[in-house]
Every structure is written in structure tokens, then in C-alpha cells.
């Protein structure tokens, strides 16, 4: 776990955790000229002399009251805000990617020392603004572009996805699991594949059916997608959505459900399984502390479960003990580096660059093809 009881740079955190599971991605680090590099090195600003106070700003794709991705990021913001009396935080919610450049500029022109952009669609606008405001630090979640004053960060959520897949594979009775997906991009494909591999590791007959919503947050459409999967006989519903709508639909149909981003047990009732969730303070704390003490550096961070950034929330009330025990044993192996989620799959020997940016096909357990 990341030690947040002292001021550390994120680079120190990477070194302390070791290379397994937390690496600078080849092809994802920024060069000193502001361009993308392909050699796996991590270069960038060595930080300034530090300051007595820090103002940090967040830009969110959806409203923070919606129990999903933005909510999870904002919980991380609030955690560090409450921890440090020298920190001031600000945020703007429900910002569409096409409007984000304007918001980033406003923060850079104001008093923000560091700006966090928390969705993939913000990558290019932030990349543009970062060049125009070299004295402001920028951090982008889920993307791959960096500059001297722009880092990027993400967690290996595919690890807890694999665990949630094991749980789904053990409770399904007809071996058909539904997945309400957002967009056919590597981030989502990676999660689907990991969950399917987890299910197959305990149930060789488990199969996944996919419904694409083409939105991160669309409760009505995602509920309709979940109901469509239920009509096809799926008796476990999982999701990559920023609302608990699919979990609600599963509960209403009296079938198991797995959520995402934040704990969703209150919407699943006795049918709730578990959710892969985020503890974003594990990134925000050392990053903002590094800004304060002048050691911030642009890097490419992809932390696994050993950092406590991606994890599982608490089990639902009726989950069998056998499921909990199996998942706990597997989780220990993942955290200790004894189990690679991709072992035995077509992606076993693929690089982090491939896993992060180029995964565009499904494993055999997924009864679907990636849309063009």
C-alpha cells in the first residue's frame, strides 16, 4: 500500500512498490520536447522549490452526485482536502470533452497549481493547454500522452475485475453473464476480458454477453441494456457504467449484480455481489504532496492492487462463503505478484503498452466481437 503518512513524490512511490504491477508504460511517457516517446523512459519536469500552499483543481465528466466514476474521483479529492490544511481544492463537474479546454484554461489562468482531468476525452484538450501554460502542472486520468508539465495516471482495475469475474462465474447457474459496456476502447475491452478470464478460471462453461451503450453515463439506456441481457437469460449482470442503473435492473429481476467505480450494494439488495472500485486518494495524496515540496515529475503511472488504488468493495449480504474464500485466495496471489491475470490467455506475453493502448479483441469466453 502507498504510504501517505509522509510527503513523497509519485516517483518514490513507484520505486518503493517495485516494477511488478506499477510501471512507466512504453510509448506513454512524455519526452523533454513535449512529444510522446516510445522507449518506455519517464522524463519531465524535476519540480520546483516547493510552496507553503497548493491549490488543486479537478474537472469531471459527470456530476459528482452520480454514484460512479466522477463520484469516486471526488471522494479522493475530499479525502486529501480534509487531510491537509495547506491544500485548497476546486472542481467543475459535468464538463463535456469539447468544453474542457476552456475549463482547463480558466484554472491555469487562475490560482491552480495543478489540474486533474479525469476522463479519456480530456486528453487532447489538456495536452494543448499544458503547452500554453508551462508553469501549471497537469495530470490526466486514463490517457497516454504526457508533457514536461503533464503526467498521466490510471489503475490496473482489470485485477479486481478478474476477481469479480471469479465471483460471477461461481454464482451463475446457467453460465451466462451479462456486461453493460460503455465504449469499445482498450480500457473497456481490457476489463471485459479480465472479468471473463476470472469467470473461466473457476467455471470453464461461463460465457459473457455484451451490450454497448456508447456512453459512460446514461442511466436509462444502461438499464434498458441490462434488461435486454436479462431477457437473453443472463443471471449475473456486470457493468462499465457511471451509475447503478444496471445493478438496480438486476435486483428488480432477482439476479446477481456486480457494479463498478464505487460501492453499489445499497442498490443491489440481497442480489448484490461485489464491485471493482477506486481509492483515488492513493494517487492524489502523493501527487499533491510532491507539488508542495517541489518534487513533482511528469510520469506514467499504472498502479495495481498492491497500491490499494484499484480494489474490491464489501461483499453483498448473501454471497456464499465459498466465493469469498476463493476470491480472497486469488487476491492474495495477485497482490503478491504470484498471479498474472493474463497468464494462459492470448495476452500473456503482451507489453504494458499493448495492454493499455492496443487491446482490441475478446477472449473466447466473450460471445461477441469488438465493434469496428
Give a yes or no: residue 62 inside a domain.
yes
Radius of gyration of the chain (CA): 20
pTM value is 0.87
Give a yes or no: residue 66 inside a domain.
yes
- Please check whether residues 284 and 151 belong to one and the same domain: yes
CA-CA-CA-CA torsion sign (214, 216, 217, 220):
positive
The per-residue DSSP string of 227-266 comes to HHHHHTT-SEEEE--SSSHHHHHHHHTT-EE---BS--HH
Give a yes or no: residue 59 inside a domain.
yes
CA-CA-CA-CA torsion sign (263, 264, 266, 271):
negative
Residue 114 host element (H or E): strand 114-117
Residues of the chain predicted below pLDDT 50: 1-11, 13-48
Q: In this structure, how many other beta carbons lie within 10 angstroms of the beta carbon of residue 20?
A: 11
- Please check whether residues 64 and 141 belong to one and the same domain: yes
Picking from 96, 94, 186, 105, the residue whose alpha carbon sits closest to that of residue 144 is 186
- Please check whether residues 111 and 218 belong to one and the same domain: no
The per-residue DSSP string of 59-86 comes to E-SS-TTSTTHHHHHHHHHHHHHHH-TT
CA 191/CA 157 separation, integer angstroms: 7
Q: Which range marks the domain in which residue 115 is found?
A: 10-155+279-303
Give a yes or no: residue 102 inside a domain.
yes
- Please check whether residues 149 and 190 belong to one and the same domain: no
Grid look-up 491475470 returns 341
pLDDT on residue 49: 56
CA 233/CA 210 separation, integer angstroms: 13
Give a yes or no: residue 364 inside a domain.
no
pLDDT on residue 44: 40
Give a yes or no: residue 365 inside a domain.
no
For the domain that residue 329 is a member of, what is the CATH number?
Answer: 3.40.50.2300
pLDDT on residue 51: 76
- Please check whether residues 40 and 188 belong to one and the same domain: no
**Number of folded domains that form the chain:** 2
Q: In this structure, how many other beta carbons lie within 10 angstroms of the beta carbon of residue 96?
A: 12
Give a yes or no: residue 2 inside a domain.
no
Amino acid at each position: 500500500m502507498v504510504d501517505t503518512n509522509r510527503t513523497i513524490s509519485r516517483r518514490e512511490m513507484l520505486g518503493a512498490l517495485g516494477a511488478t504491477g506499477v510501471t512507466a508504460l512504453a510509448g506513454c511517457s512524455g519526452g523533454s520536447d513535449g512529444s510522446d516517446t516510445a522507449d518506455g523512459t519517464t522524463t519531465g519536469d524535476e519540480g520546483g522549490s516547493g510552496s507553503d500552499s497548493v491549490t488543486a483543481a479537478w474537472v469531471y465528466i459527470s456530476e459528482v452526485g452520480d454514484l460512479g466514476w466522477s463520484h469516486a474521483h471526488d471522494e479522493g479529492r475530499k479525502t486529501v482536502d480534509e487531510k491537509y490544511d495547506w491544500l485548497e481544492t476546486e472542481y467543475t463537474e459535468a464538463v463535456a470533452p469539447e468544453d474542457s479546454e476552456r475549463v482547463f484554461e480558466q484554472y491555469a489562468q487562475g490560482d491552480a497549481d495543478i489540474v486533474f482531468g479525469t476522463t479519456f476525452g480530456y486528453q487532447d484538450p489538456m495536452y494543448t493547454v499544458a503547452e500554453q501554460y508551462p508553469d501549471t502542472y497537469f495530470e490526466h486520468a486514463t490517457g497516454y500522452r504526457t508533457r514536461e508539465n503533464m503526467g498521466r495516471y490510471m489503475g490496473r482495475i482489470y485485477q479486481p475485475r478478474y476477481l469479480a469475474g471469479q465471483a460471477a462465474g461461481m454464482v451463475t447457474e446457467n453460465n451466462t453473464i451479462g456486461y453493460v459496456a460503455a465504449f469499445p476502447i482498450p480500457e473497456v475491452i481490457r476489463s471485459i476480458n479480465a472479468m471473463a478470464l476470472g469467470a473461466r478460471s473457476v467455471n470453464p462453461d461461463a460465457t459473457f454477453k455484451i451490450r454497448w451503450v456508447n456512453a459512460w453515463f446514461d442511466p436509462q439506456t444502461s438499464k434498458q441494456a441490462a434488461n435486454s441481457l436479462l431477457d437473453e437469460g443472463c443471471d449475473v449482470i456486470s457493468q462499465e457504467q457511471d451509475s447503478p442503473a444496471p445493478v438496480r435492473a438486476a435486483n428488480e429481476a432477482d439476479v446477481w449484480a456486480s457494479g463498478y467505480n464505487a460501492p453499489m450494494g445499497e442498490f443491489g439488495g440481497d442480489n448484490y455481489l461485489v464491485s471493482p472500485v477506486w481509492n483515488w486518494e492513493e494517487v492524489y495524496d502523493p501527487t499533491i504532496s510532491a507539488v508542495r515540496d517541489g518534487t513533482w515529475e511528469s510520469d506514467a503511472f499504472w498502479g495495481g492492487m498492491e497500491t490499494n488504488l484499484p480494489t474490491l468493495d464489501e461483499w453483498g449480504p448473501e454471497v456464499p462463503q465459498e466465493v469469498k474464500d476463493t476470491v480472497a485466495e486469488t487476491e492474495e496471489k495477485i497482490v503478491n505478484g504470484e498471479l498474472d491475470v493474463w497468464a494462459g490467455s492470448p495476452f500473456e506475453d503482451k507489453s504494458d503498452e499493448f495492454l493499455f493502448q492496443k487491446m482490441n479483441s475478446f477472449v473466447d469466453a466473450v460471445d461477441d466481437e469488438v465493434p469496428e
